[in-house]
Structure 1
Amino acid sequence: MSGGRTTRLRLRLAALAATTGLLASGCGLESSFALPFEVGPGSIRPVPELTGVAVAVGSKDFTENQILGYLAEVALTAAGAEVRDMTNIQGSNSSRQALITGDVDVSWDYTGTGWISYLGNTEPIPDERAQFEAVRDADLTRNGLLWLEYAAVNNTYAFAVTEAFAKAHNLRTTSDMAELIRREPNQGVFCLETEFASRNDGFPGVAKAYGFDAGSVEVKTFGIGTIYTATSQGSCNFGEVFTTDGRIIGLNLVVLEDDRKFFPQYNAAIVLRKEFADTHPQVAEVMAPIVAKLDNDTIRRLNAEVDVDGRDPAVVARDWLIAEGFVSLPAS
């Protein structure tokens, strides 16, 4: 395939129940219509070894993972692969099972999810690199799954405050928050999700790790989706958030650094079956520079384009890849 040729990306907005037999295998995935658009080469050029190779790319059913899935789809299409869209699989376990059974070839997951939910460990590893390596080694040995190098995207818990509150109290880290609460307990007003408020690996554990009295503060409980708005509107001073959520940007919130690394590390990484990775090593080569470009600020902006601005995650992924020079629009 010449470098000037464009390739057609068929973005199937769910998965191919009838043609892949996934319903029969118990994953419960459904098919939908295809939304085709074209992409041309950029720094990603057609790869002879991938030309015409069928690659099923999956994702979970939330915005960030869908965007990550589409990044892989667009990139691999530009490299010449025949991409089958398996994004929007409901639930981590279903997404994982689709990868294990071979219904999906490429998917993104998170190191903390792998370590705790899939591999059954109870104690997270505080260091990002050590957590990744532990998951990588264990999942390869036990399940034949290969985790590629992780991204700087770390979708974990944190506390957020308004920009005005952060500036007024010189807040940058969770240690700064704890010091403020010890000094002025009345400032400790929290918006928390109900389960997080009572779990030892949630708020009580944070209070213990950072040395403030959880009983001295006021806790207001909300659904996780409403905490962002409640925090921005002053219903509380500190809100429980996910570090890569696009609403952080949309509502001008400031994320406090978890400087004592209390929360588990949830770095995003591409996962493949080792057999598939060994047969098609070019997939990892195509994706490596994209993974290296991703970080929390970048994915937060992309998430905001979907969740705040209402854009389609596939188009958001394509446009970012174009802006970064990985792919191009087709020549008119």
Structure 2
Amino acid sequence: MRAPVRSVRSLGAVLLLVVLAAGCGNTPLRSPDASGGGLARYDLRGASLVVGGGATTELRLLCQLTIAAVQAASGAATDECGKDGGTDVHAPTGLSDVDTGWASLRTLGPRGLPDPDGAPADPPPDLDAIRATDAARGIAWLPPTAFGDTDVVVARAPGPIGVTGTDLCVAPEAVPGSAVAPGSAALTAAYGLAPPVVVPDVNAVLVGVATGRCTAGLVPGSSGRVPALGLVVADDVRRALDGGPAGPRGYAPVLRTGLLAGHPPTADVLGEITRRLDGPAMRGMVREVEVDGRDPRDVARRWLTGQGLIAAG
């Protein structure tokens, strides 16, 4: 009479294991936090940041760079990269839990908020004035990236921008008189170029240069398709692109001042990123996400590892 009891108990144990295994199979494994590397010398123990991102690949990458950097400095970071960091930090704490994010100074309006459609600011923002106004609202701005997020001229071979005879492809928003700075007017004037060939959009500019329809093209400096198509950024030897609006045009970290006051090393941690992030680095990471289909989190951590800022994660 006891054998059936043992059989029932055994069957029950097996079923329990099956149920537990099924439950574990449906629970995603949490990937390890970033650790080690050069950022480990900063102490963010006790800091807990909610990090926002944005609608663009660049802002999502910056969000993931921040999360890994904070973790490597022994802090905790919550991924809210689907939210707009620059906008959510400006919202009252009762309406937003985002502590820090990034803002593109190229699209920043006079009140410190990015244009919702991503349109370039015209005139460019006065970051010092915005910083002073936001300080009274409990919001701090850190120095922007070394990468200026400006337009560049691309070609099929390295060298200076061509002179008379160069066919320059531009998108409609880059023609003279548009808000995009500096547009094509400064280029045509500085190099004696023929009127630009206007094509439907930036992708058409890149394809036009890659296929030889145009010898050069004006595109955003962070475009990941530049390296993907085997194109290079031409040297602006006459500094025509420097004739755009004055002021910073990179990406700047923005965070709540209470967080910064409680954990001052946060500025040093983010500064390690802004000092290193140049045009080739951003274009390469954007390419990995938009062209190669890789996860922004993995791409960001691979770059940080290559910079010696983190060792694992």
Q: TM-score, normalised by structure 1?
A: 0.70
Tell me the amino acid that sits aligned with residue 220 of structure 2: F
1:197/1:203 contact within 8 Å kept = no
Which of 320, 324, 328 in structure 1 is aligned with 2:303?
A: 320
Partner of 1:96: 86
Which one has the bigger strand percentage? 1
Tell me the amino acid that sits aligned with residue 263 of structure 1: G
Corresponding position: 1:293 with 2:276? yes
Q: C-alpha offsets along residues 213-253 of structure 1, whole Å, 9 cap, x if unaligned?
A: 99952523222233222221112222221112221112222
SS in structure 1 at match of 2:266: helix
CA RMSD of aligned residues (A): 3.2
Partner of 2:39: 44
Corresponding position: 1:211 with 2:189? yes
2:147/2:279 contact within 8 Å kept = yes
In 2, Cα distance between equivalents of 1:243 and 1:118? 22
1:78/1:327 contact within 8 Å kept = yes
SS in structure 2 at match of 1:305: helix
Tell me the amino acid that sits aligned with residue 111 of structure 1: L
Corresponding position: 1:71 with 2:71? no
In 2, Cα distance between equivalents of 1:270 and 1:236? 37
In 2, Cα distance between equivalents of 1:69 and 1:239? 30
Q: C-alpha offsets along residues 164-216 of structure 1, whole Å, 9 cap, x if unaligned?
A: xx55xxx24xxxx4xx23xx3xx3x3332223335344489642575279995
Q: C-alpha offsets along residues 260-283 of structure 1, whole Å, 9 cap, x if unaligned?
A: 313344212211122322222121
SS in structure 2 at match of 1:293: coil
Superposition pairs of residues 212-227 of structure 1, within 5 angstroms: 216-227=194-205
5+ residue gaps, structure 2: 1-26, 116-120
Q: C-alpha offsets along residues 18-58 of structure 1, whole Å, 9 cap, x if unaligned?
A: xxxxxxxxxxxxxxx9773113222222766x334321111
Question: Identity percentage over the alignment?
Answer: 27
Gap change, CA 1:69 and 1:196, over 3 Å in 2: same
Gap change, CA 1:201 and 1:36, over 3 Å in 2: same
Partner of 1:310: 293
2:52/2:85 contact within 8 Å kept = yes
Which of 222, 227, 231 in structure 1 is aligned with 2:209?
A: 231
2:35/2:312 contact within 8 Å kept = yes
Partner of 1:155: 149
Partner of 1:128: none
Which one has the bigger helix percentage? 1
SS in structure 1 at match of 2:108: helix
Gap change, CA 1:135 and 1:255, over 3 Å in 2: farther
1:46/1:80 contact within 8 Å kept = no
Q: Greater Rg, structure 1 or structure 2?
A: 2
Gap change, CA 1:216 and 1:284, over 3 Å in 2: closer
5+ residue gaps, structure 1: 1-32, 126-130
Gap change, CA 1:228 and 1:88, over 3 Å in 2: farther
Gap change, CA 1:140 and 1:320, over 3 Å in 2: same
Partner of 2:16: none
1:207/1:213 contact within 8 Å kept = no
Partner of 2:177: 199
Tell me the amino acid that sits aligned with residue 244 of structure 2: F
1:62/1:88 contact within 8 Å kept = no
1:99/1:107 contact within 8 Å kept = yes
Partner of 1:140: 135
Partner of 1:59: 53
Corresponding position: 1:110 with 2:104? yes
1:57/1:72 contact within 8 Å kept = yes
Gap change, CA 1:114 and 1:218, over 3 Å in 2: closer
